Structure 1
Amino acid sequence: MDSGSVVTPPYTAGPLTLEPFRALTLAPHRIGDPASARTFARPYREVPARLARWEAQRQLRREPEPAVYLHEYTAGGITVRGLVGLVDLTRRAGRLEERAIFPHEGIYPDQADDLAARLELMRINPAPILLVHRAEDDLRSLVQQVAAGRPAHRYRDRGGQQHRVWTVTDPGTLAALRSGLATARALIADGHHRYAAYLRLQQRDPGGPCDRGLAMLVDHGDTPLFLGAIHRVLSGSSLDDVETAARSLGLPVTVLAEQQAIAALAPRRLVATDTDRWMVLGLPDDDAAAVEVLHHRLVPALPHGPRRTTYHHSVTQALAHTGPDLGTAVLLPAPDVDHVLRIVAEDRLLPEKATSFQPKPSLGTFIRPWDDG
């Protein structure tokens, strides 16, 4: 795709809400099973009938009444807990201070349009978008009180994730949640294009089920997601090109051995290598994230290329695609959630694939049918 086609999705205005719905959940042995993804595959208009068959076969459970759900899942030694409900999409924010949901990267309009068309055919939200925020003390305490009670469901899925789910239906508790969320400002951790698709569908058909979209809201101060870096390989740009660009920008360059260079990776330092040579690049002493310095300053200053940029979630993966004849790897430090929150609060977006929030819940834990809340 042409990176020039990236646009900013509209912003949703507050107050942030999470409204009850009747969730569908696949049977535990189906959740996390790659074969289950075929349930949501083409032809998309047949998805409701497939889900109805699975429900009749007891391969899928429908909650008896609308609820907001507290969902806790554990994967890879990390436990994440968040509220699952329907966010109100009917209000658009005209000013920065009105915004309740903040994307931190742009979206491709064609991809959002394709997702919107798919959702319209399926008549479901197959999974929540993932939001993170820092809750006020009262809301955090309320969520912890809910989690101290007995869960309605507890299971281990096919992919190995452990799950606990509490259903919140008590009017008083729901009112307290609504009050606690009224001033919340949430960052999109995963699902930028689905969020944009939500907004497209709501704009096309206001007053219907698309006025709301399925979301999970995680309190980063309670059970934080792991936020990892996504490294780059610049094909067509040599390590000499990277050094020339860095020096032209006045960035300090230090040549080190491999292990020393990797160990030097830090919030204000990048590492560049062609696997034959390694160098550490110091970053300016300003509020720009490392990925912003790379894409907005260093890459435009390169004498040659890159012809193509690829993205890799581990150093090992990046180095496997790196070499004097393949491309130059730029290893990035892990972003900081509070730094990302500051950036979006200043009305800036990060370059694409700037963050990797993990772990994400397995597909099939929460499905929202449009005809049932």
Structure 2
Amino acid sequence: MNSAGHSEATAPRGLELTPFRGLRYDPERVGSLAAVTSPPYDVVVRPDGVHHLQSADPHNIVRLILPQDGTPSARNERAADTLRRWLDEGVLTADPEPGLYLYEQCDGAGLLQRGIIGALRLTEPSEGVVLPHEDVMPHVVADRTALMRATSANLEPLLLTYRGDGATAGVIERTAERPPLLSTTTEDGFSHRLWSINDPTDLACVQTDLSHHQALIADGHHRWATYLRLRAEHPSPSPWDYGLVLLIDTVRYPLRVRAIHRLLHTLPLTDALAALDGLFRVRRLDVPLLEALATLAEAARAGNAFLLAGDGGFHLVDRPDPDLLARTVPADRPAAWRTLDATVLHTTLLDHVWHIPEDSPAHIAYIHDTAATVEKAERDGGTAVLMHPVREEVVRDLARQGVTMPRKSTSFGPKPASGLVLRALEL
């Protein structure tokens, strides 16, 4: 079985992973490798995180993945200019020969994750090779497309999972015994190591093994949609037929699944709570964040539950009115989709109760960091909606059925650090 539950035998073809000449920072040209890395673009809390990363090193990768300027076109032009300048100055250099890359993350507390970075041949969801599980926001895809088009580069890898434990595992074990290309520890305490895989026998072993597998997009739905859009713009064959990915075998290295929270900029908490009267049960919790999250987890075992914050405390929202759900949740989807917290949040609360457009950055932000979501709501007078994470098996089952979850329903991790290896399409 693959990561989404499909029988491997039904796949018309499997994953096709290709070596590439990675672009990497020259350690002699930057303050430190840790100082030039960044979380993925959609995890960086803006603008605070952007400013912090920019000040960490003048060559931090955030200047490419989240360029700052007055207009979208100016931002993308700035990123392209920055990339060209760093290449000219030797800040970024291309490895001499194509290869795949072994990437390792370790948190020092027992978590070890290893996977293979390469250029993956792009396929449509209908082909059943790479399966998305979340909807995407058109404006984000448009933003990433314009940036990738301007830079002609894959600036950070997507995170894909598959269920393997085959021959690739042996290549990973042998490679990890060698000295790495780079080793660094980022400020979150994670250590990162990268190796090249150039041996023809090892490359053939990995490629043959992966050709029997399918993958689930764990993180990077918008960038995958961007890859597909840009592929359609370029006659095939071309480098745009491939996209940069990190493939993790979750048999050996299970990922963590966390929630992504919502910050409603224009909805004061008092108004949000007032609108719930008679529709949900609401209880105030005057407890610390961790205790409030534990209460949320307990409530989520019995049904849909959320935590609202913004006034210094927490408000547990659960037990929705069944008639309300019957009126607002589409009935033409599987039960596992209809009962998702994210489904009830988007179809019932955002659309029907609060009238918040889910794809408008002026109204809603999607934030991974729980404490940051609460802090920004309290500071700005908005409403934080804290979510309980969905189970990974639910994600896989829905992906197997071809049913996508509401946007930003899950956060798989740990995510790869951006800035360790890039892919320039001209190479």
Q: Above 0.5 in TM-score?
A: yes
Distance 1:363 1:277 in 2: 34
Distance 1:367 1:158 in 2: 18
Distance 1:362 1:26 in 2: 13
Residue 241 in structure 1 maps to residue 241 in structure 2: no
Matches of residues 1-373 of structure 1 in structure 2 within 5 Å? 14-28=13-27, 29-33=32-36, 34=53, 35-36=58-59, 37=61, 38=63, 41=67, 42-47=77-82, 49-55=84-90, 59-75=91-107, 77=109, 78-89=111-122, 91-94=123-126, 98-133=127-162, 135-139=163-167, 141-156=169-184, 159=187, 161-205=190-234, 206-234=236-264, 235=267, 237-246=271-280, 253=281, 255=283, 257-259=285-287, 262-266=293-297, 267-268=300-301, 269-273=304-308, 275=311, 278-282=315-319, 286-287=335-336, 288-302=339-353, 304-306=354-356, 308-321=363-376, 326-372=381-427
What are the superposed Cα offsets for residues 81-130 of structure 1, whole Å, 9 maximum, x if unpaired? 111001102x4354xxx322122222333443443333233232222122
Distance 2:370 2:193 in 1: 33
**Residues 282 and 184 of structure 1: is their aligned pair in 2 closer, same or farther, counting only changes over 3 Å?**
farther
For the 8 Å contact 1:161–1:362, the answer to whether it is kept is: no
**Residues 112 and 219 of structure 1: is their aligned pair in 2 closer, same or farther, counting only changes over 3 Å?**
same
- The secondary structure found in structure 2 opposite 1:118 is helix
- The secondary structure found in structure 1 opposite 2:246 is strand
The residue aligned with 2:4 is: none
CA positional deviation for 1:157: 5.3
For the 8 Å contact 1:153–1:165, the answer to whether it is kept is: yes
For the 8 Å contact 1:32–1:157, the answer to whether it is kept is: no
**Residues 157 and 25 of structure 1: is their aligned pair in 2 closer, same or farther, counting only changes over 3 Å?**
farther
**Residues 361 and 76 of structure 1: is their aligned pair in 2 closer, same or farther, counting only changes over 3 Å?**
farther
For the 8 Å contact 2:105–2:113, the answer to whether it is kept is: yes
Question: What is the TM-score normalised by the length of structure 1?
Answer: 0.78
Distance 1:282 1:81 in 2: 41
CA positional deviation for 1:214: 1.0
- The secondary structure found in structure 2 opposite 1:72 is strand
One-letter amino acid of the counterpart of residue 231, structure 1? H
**Residues 13 and 333 of structure 1: is their aligned pair in 2 closer, same or farther, counting only changes over 3 Å?**
farther
Q: Name the Cα RMSD after superposition.
A: 3.3
**Residues 105 and 13 of structure 1: is their aligned pair in 2 closer, same or farther, counting only changes over 3 Å?**
farther
The residue aligned with 1:3 is: none
The residue aligned with 1:4 is: none
- The secondary structure found in structure 2 opposite 1:227 is strand
**Residues 309 and 202 of structure 1: is their aligned pair in 2 closer, same or farther, counting only changes over 3 Å?**
closer
For the 8 Å contact 2:165–2:251, the answer to whether it is kept is: no
> Quick check: which one's strand share is greater?
1
Distance 2:220 2:176 in 1: 29
Distance 1:212 1:306 in 2: 37
For the 8 Å contact 1:47–1:122, the answer to whether it is kept is: no
CA positional deviation for 1:338: 2.4
What are the superposed Cα offsets for residues 152-202 of structure 1, whole Å, 9 maximum, x if unpaired? 424215656522223222333222222321232322233222222211221
One-letter amino acid of the counterpart of residue 132, structure 1? T
Percent pairwise identity: 30
CA positional deviation for 1:215: 0.9
One-letter amino acid of the counterpart of residue 25, structure 1? R
Question: What is the TM-score normalised by the length of structure 2?
Answer: 0.69
Distance 1:49 1:309 in 2: 34
For the 8 Å contact 1:231–1:315, the answer to whether it is kept is: yes
Show structure 2 runs of 5+ residues with no match: 1-10, 37-52, 68-76, 323-333, 358-362
**Residues 231 and 111 of structure 1: is their aligned pair in 2 closer, same or farther, counting only changes over 3 Å?**
closer
Distance 1:298 1:13 in 2: 40
One-letter amino acid of the counterpart of residue 281, structure 1? D
One-letter amino acid of the counterpart of residue 22, structure 1? R
Distance 2:407 2:116 in 1: 26
Distance 1:18 1:76 in 2: 30
Q: How many residues align?
A: 345
One-letter amino acid of the counterpart of residue 52, structure 1? L
Moved more, 19-28 or 166-175: 166-175
